[in-house]
Amino acid sequence: MCGIVAYIGSKEAYPIVVKGLKRLEYRGYDSAGVALMNGDLRVYKTKGKVSDLESAAKDADVSGTIGMGHTRWATHGEPNDANAHPHLSLSGKVSLIHNGIIENYATLKEGLEQRGHTFTSETDTEVLAHLIEDVMINSGLSLADAVRASLKQVVGAYAIVILSKDNPEHLIAARKGSPLVVGIGSEAGEYFFASDATPLAEYTKKVIYMKDGEIAIVENKEMTIKNIDNVVQVPYVHELEMNLEMLEKGGYDHFMLKEIYEQPRSIYDSYRGRFNAASGTFHMRSLEEYSEQLAQIKRLILIGCGTSWHAGLVAEYLFEDFARLPVEVEYASEFRYRNPVLFSDDLVMAISQSGETADTLAAMDLAKRKSATVFGVCNVVGSSIPRLSDAGAYTHAGPEIGVASTKAFTSQVTVLTLLALGIAKARKTMSDKEISKVMSALEEIPDKIEKALLLNDEIVKLAETYKDSRNFLYLGRGYNFPVALEGALKLKEISYIHAEGYPAAEMKHGPIALIDADMPVVVIATNSEHYEKVVSNIQEVKARKGKVIAVVSEGNTSLDKIVDHVIQVPETIDALSPLVNTIPLQLLSYHIAVMCGCNVDQPRNLAKSVTVE
Ligand code: F6R
């Protein structure tokens, strides 16, 4: 969702800010704007893309070594020029960009209106720009103190950056609930600010992940970080593990395709150095440090949204099979508003690629308040979810730029597999030999995925055949029921074709009514104890003239005469089959979306990290 980039230093700010905004495009947005300081404060903004902003500012003065930019994903007020950020205060001297939601903006606005303020947009953000100036004028406070005093009045979430015409050497930034990363430049007094580290990677490896309630004040080439009570904080400077190559398409047409092809490597990175298959032992800090507590858990509750929730569903099977734990899988958005019964020996595991999903964060917060232990499985280092977790494990998939999650999903499943095995070991529900066997099978997965990727040409042809279908059904059983859900989600989110995932046997309880000669049904029918049952489900579809695309294990030709298309994938143990079986479904949705002329990396209405509820 909204993206923030800001720069203060000796270089021209505009190109840095615009390039940074382009790096953040993957987050999803509908308008863009910049503010630049060069004696005067100049603001340019427009509905549309960053390229539209560049066109709008083509002949304008964009000079200045202090600047900030924003991409807005509309929440309060439609996407238009007026609602785009930066917003200005009443006098036009204070400019502000904001990511998040100011929940009490209507009350604040009413108070300001009574004091003569008028507004040019429908946004909550403009209210904050006015409030800061109002506090400065009425209380005679400095800019930094007025920001602090104003933020004390704000209820909601924010990451903000502020520039002020009367403080031409200052830049102020603050966060609460929305992410903000500071990059420390190579020259004295040079700082970069961004919603995530991707715009910073080409300038610096030294970053500070700002904490909730912190305010960064840059003045006289020095940055001071204080908390909301004005106490100076000592920030931890992290080494950024991200390079430019990870942020570029590297010859692929889309980030999504690049990320699909990266999976042999990303899965390897997710487990690399974390176990020894020969001995069945682990080298995972969270498992080592918490092995006693993990052995005592009575119940596991997995929470997440979208694709991460699907990874949780795969993990339900893994934890039940391996660790013999009662497991529940919950949508974070539902869990947060229920009154769940939680105990101190429950483990709540939050799964997230971005680490910033508002619903998942709120669900974790609820679990903590109800005294459960919270474990985070997350991809983005330094994001909010790992920070809120009592313990956790990173998935190490590398930056995922395509909005549709691909490599993050398979890395989540990989790490969840290790955690299920680790808890199985702590609870003694599997022998070391059994654990070793799964580990060895996991070590073969990157090669098997490499092989599955060779199906690409075959899948292009399949996409050609079915690209005009308006509905799809995806069926799977056991470990592959969540894969069916994930296959359907991938198709609908990037090609806008309606698709549903179902447990294969549930079909006859409703969706079978939909089946006719125009309904393609993708069935995951790889070898497992359910194989024969899935074949019966296929027969049910064929009896109603549905078109069946069957994903089967390599060498299985028994369905060739029954179904319309067969995709043979390398075989692995059932528990790991979601890792391999997901690949052809990702490729199918990718190629259909491309053939339908859709914007694969930035599908309409979607945001990469959903920081609002
Ligand atoms: C689907 C997709 C979304 C995310 C969901 C949760 O391709 O990307 O469904 O999985 O918004 O996001 P994270 O994992 O960042 O919490």
Tens-place pLDDT, residues 493-523: 999 999 999 999 999 899 899 999 999 999 9
Atom of ligand 1 at shortest range from CA of 406: 7
468 and 403 in a common domain: no
CA 254 → CA 259, 349, 518, 560, distances in Å?
9, 32, 30, 33
108 and 196 in a common domain: yes
Task: For ligand 1, say whether the CB of 589 is within 6 Å of any of its atoms.
Answer: no
- Among 223, 246, 269, the domain-final residue is 246
Task: For ligand 1, say whether the CB of 307 is within 6 Å of any of its atoms.
Answer: yes
- Catalytically annotated residue among 2, 258, 378, 425: 2
Is the pLDDT at 66 greater than 90? The verdict is yes
Complete DSSP assignment for 188-232: TT-EEEESSSTTTTTT-SEEEEPPTTEEEEEETTEEEEEETTS-B
Which 8-state DSSP code applies to residue 562? Answer: T
Active site residue 608: yes
The Cα angle at residue 297 between residues 294 and 299, in degrees rounded to 5 = 130
Q: How far is the CA of 400 from the centre of ligand 1 (A)?
A: 11
- Among 420, 443, 466, the domain-final residue is 443
The residue contributing the CA closest to ligand 1 atom 6 is: 305
Q: What is the mean pLDDT of residues 268-281?
A: 95
Is the pLDDT at 365 greater than 90? The verdict is yes
Q: Which of 357, 364, 589 to mutate to test the pocket of ligand 1 (most atoms within 8 A of CB)?
A: 357
473 and 401 in a common domain: no
Q: Which residues contact 463 (CB under 8 A, 6 or more apart)?
A: 588, 591, 592, 594, 595
pLDDT on residue 225: 98
Task: For ligand 1, say whether the CB of 610 is within 6 Å of any of its atoms.
Answer: yes
Number of domains in the chain: 3
Atom of ligand 1 at shortest range from CA of 305: 6
Least confident of 263-277, 384-398, 597-611: 597-611
Q: How far is the CA of 409 from the centre of ligand 1 (A)?
A: 9
Instruction: Write down the pTM of the prediction.
Output: 0.88
Report helix angle 105-114 to 124-139, nearest 10: 50
Is the pLDDT at 612 greater than 80? The verdict is no
On whether residue 329 sits in a domain, the answer given is yes
Percent of the chain whose predicted confidence (pLDDT) is above 70:
100
Active site residue 305: no
Task: For ligand 1, say whether the CB of 405 is within 6 Å of any of its atoms.
Answer: yes
Q: How far is the CA of 596 from the centre of ligand 1 (A)?
A: 23
283 and 204 in a common domain: no
User: Domain residues for 609?
Assistant: 453-613
238 and 151 in a common domain: yes
291 and 220 in a common domain: no
Cβ–Cβ < 8 Å for 170, 164? yes
On whether residue 84 sits in a domain, the answer given is yes
Atom of ligand 1 at shortest range from CA of 360: 16
Is the pLDDT at 214 greater than 80? The verdict is yes
Is the pLDDT at 347 greater than 90? The verdict is yes
Is the pLDDT at 1 greater than 90? The verdict is no
On whether residue 504 sits in a domain, the answer given is yes
Task: For ligand 1, say whether the CB of 383 is within 6 Å of any of its atoms.
Answer: no
Beta bridge partners of 95: 88, 163
User: What CATH number is associated with residue 77?
Assistant: 3.60.20.10
Task: For ligand 1, say whether the CB of 352 is within 6 Å of any of its atoms.
Answer: yes
Q: List pLDDT tens digits, range 484-495.
A: 999 999 999 999
Task: For ligand 1, say whether the CB of 305 is within 6 Å of any of its atoms.
Answer: yes
User: What CATH number is associated with residue 267?
Assistant: 3.40.50.10490
Atom of ligand 1 at shortest range from CA of 304: 16
pLDDT on residue 246: 84
Task: For ligand 1, say whether the CB of 609 is within 6 Å of any of its atoms.
Answer: yes
Per-residue pLDDT band at 447 (split at 50, 70, 90)? very high
Is the pLDDT at 290 greater than 90? The verdict is no
Q: How far is the CA of 270 from the centre of ligand 1 (A)?
A: 18
518 and 419 in a common domain: no
145 and 102 in a common domain: yes
Task: For ligand 1, say whether the CB of 495 is within 6 Å of any of its atoms.
Answer: no
On whether residue 545 sits in a domain, the answer given is yes
On whether residue 297 sits in a domain, the answer given is yes
241 and 106 in a common domain: yes
Q: How far is the CA of 528 from the centre of ligand 1 (A)?
A: 28
- Among 194, 217, 246, the domain-final residue is 246
Sign of CA dihedral 91, 92, 97, 103: positive
Neighbouring C-alpha atoms within 13 Å toward the C-beta of 150: 34
* Cα 568 from Cα 550, distance rounded (Å): 8
The residue contributing the CA closest to ligand 1 atom 9 is: 306
* Cα 596 from Cα 463, distance rounded (Å): 10
Q: How far is the CA of 607 from the centre of ligand 1 (A)?
A: 9
Residue appearing with tokens 């483990």: 347
507 and 375 in a common domain: no
pLDDT on residue 195: 93
Complete DSSP assignment for 385-441: HHHH-SEEEE-------SSS-SHHHHHHHHHHHHHHHHHHHHTT-S-HHHHHHHHHH
On whether residue 79 sits in a domain, the answer given is yes
Is the pLDDT at 148 greater than 80? The verdict is yes
On whether residue 574 sits in a domain, the answer given is yes
Query: Which structure tokens are listed for 607?
Result: 């945001």
Task: For ligand 1, say whether the CB of 266 is within 6 Å of any of its atoms.
Answer: no
The residue contributing the CA closest to ligand 1 atom 3 is: 306
The Cα angle at residue 136 between residues 135 and 137, in degrees rounded to 5 = 95
435 and 543 in a common domain: no
396 and 513 in a common domain: no
Task: For ligand 1, say whether the CB of 586 is within 6 Å of any of its atoms.
Answer: no
On whether residue 448 sits in a domain, the answer given is no
